[in-house]
Amino acid sequence: MTREAPESGEEGKVGGIQVIARAAAIMRTLGEHPQGLSLAAIAQAVKLPRSTVQRIVCALEAEYLVEAMGPSGGFRLGVAVGQLVYQTQTDIISLVRPYLECLSNWLQESVSLSKQAGEKIQVIDRIVAERDLRVVFPIGVFAPMHSTSAGKVLLAGLDDAAVRDLLPDPLPQMTRNTRDLPALLAELAEIRETGFTFDHGECSEGISGGSVSLDTYLGRYAISVVLPTARAARRVEAIREALLACKRDIERAIGGTACRR
């Protein structure tokens, strides 16, 4: 009688853990690229053979965790990811959603609810504006904290030392408008005074947004208004006022559905 069976079992366990880790790496990569990626691009990002990536992506696709983008090719996160996020965050989402709907209707712009996920923010709910030129983004998407208004209002809750520990230096330049670390720290000092910030195409060209933080008994979140940069400049003050009013309403009576104007 040999001891090969226990060794095989252990090898299988290690192999299973490795597959899960690789699948998680693929999903994180797709979360960072909501526009989708080809199999070759995914393989390059996660540093795995294309054949390995294809097998894992096919398995994830079968569970609706990844979806094909159609004739153009490529893959993105699937609808099941949004469902999982919604289920795990259902309390805060159910409490805040009426306010998000009211905010979106008031401004006629897309709005989102985000939380910190490491050095990134994750969108856990959103309302897409009903108008011709609008910004559409999926639930579950990740974005860098340093180049988004949502990320910056959450970073402002930390001291400068904690921000330096959290973020890489130099900061990745997402667009030509992305701030470097000294400029970011200066902006965070302003946010701590005003409670509001706005980014003009710092994460994605042509997309801007304003945000406030939301402190609740369920944790700290960010509420954002996201809109095309083309009409952002003339709307900053209206967005600031609407966001701060929404923040006051939620923090004063979280769980209510009234939206006072």
Taking only the tens place, the pLDDT of each residue in 216-226 is 877 899 999 99
User: Using one digit for the tens of pLDDT, what is the confidence trace for 45-76?
Assistant: 999 999 999 999 999 999 888 888 877 678 98
- Both 160 and 202 in one domain: the answer is yes
192: containing domain: 82-252
In a domain, 135, yes or no: yes
Given this model, what pLDDT does residue 85 score? Answer: 67
Answer yes or no: are the C-beta atoms of 75 and 36 closer than 8 Å: yes
In a domain, 259, yes or no: no
What's the pLDDT score for residue 6?
A: 44
Query: Which pLDDT score, from 0 to 100, does residue 153 have?
Result: 97
- Please state whether 248 falls in left (phi above 0), alpha (psi between -120 and 50) or beta: alpha
CATH (domain of 213) = 3.30.450.40
Indicate if 69 and 87 belong to the same structural domain: no
- Per-residue model confidence as pLDDT tens digits over 77-119: 887 777 776 665 667 888 899 999 999 999 999 999 999 988 9
pLDDT at 8: 53
Q: Is the same domain home to 140 and 216? A: yes
Residues 88, 50 share a domain: no
How many domains is the chain partitioned into structurally?
2
Last residue of a domain, one of 30, 46, 77: 77
User: Of 77, 104, 123, which residue sits at a domain end?
Assistant: 77
Q: What's at 12, amino acid-wise?
A: G
CA atoms within 13 A on the CB side of 100: 25
Q: Which of 97, 115, 95 is nearest to 220 (CA)?
A: 115
pTM, full prediction: 0.67
Q: Alpha carbon 109 to chain centroid distance?
A: 18
